[in-house]
Structure 1
Amino acid sequence: MLEKQEKKRLFFRNRSRNRSHFPQPFPKRFLSFLLLFSWKISIFAGAFNKKEKEIWQNM
């Protein structure tokens, strides 16, 4: 049990150390997330506009 927690602590310490060493991957991941997010929003907005147009035409 104790050994497991020790491993976990070491793992997290190593991860935080690696993060400071490589500041590059985070912005890339963040940018790709933003891109995906904006893409989803544009699709949603497009679908919404289409529905709105249909509603207007039916009225």
Structure 2
Amino acid sequence: MHPLLAVPVIAANPTWTYWIGVPLAIGGVLYALAIVVGFLRKVQSPRYPRDTDV
């Protein structure tokens, strides 16, 4: 196929890079949230233990 004839075919294909970015962005946000929650549970919780003897 001639390269100039392939341009309309390529342009007609839906752009999937935008759609793959959505789950990657959501996964990145969830990963960052998991890091923060894990930090708070492992590092900050022992500093301020719950008072269960009330």
The structure whose residues are more often helix, as a share, is 1
Aligned to 1:37: 28
Deviations 1:22-54, CA, capped at 9 Å, x for gaps: 22x111101110001111111111000111223
SS across alignment from 2:48:
helix
Structure 2 unaligned runs (5+)? 1-5, 50-54
Alignment of 1:1-59 (within 5 A): 18=10, 20-21=11-12, 22-23=14-15, 25-57=16-48
Q: Which runs of 5+ in 1 are unaligned?
A: 1-13
- Work out the percentage of aligned pairs sharing the same amino acid: 5
Aligned length: 41
Distance in 1 between residues matched to 2:19 and 2:25, nearest whole Å:
10
Moved over 4 A (4+): none
Cα root mean square deviation, aligned: 2.3
What's the TM-score, normalizing by structure 1?
0.52
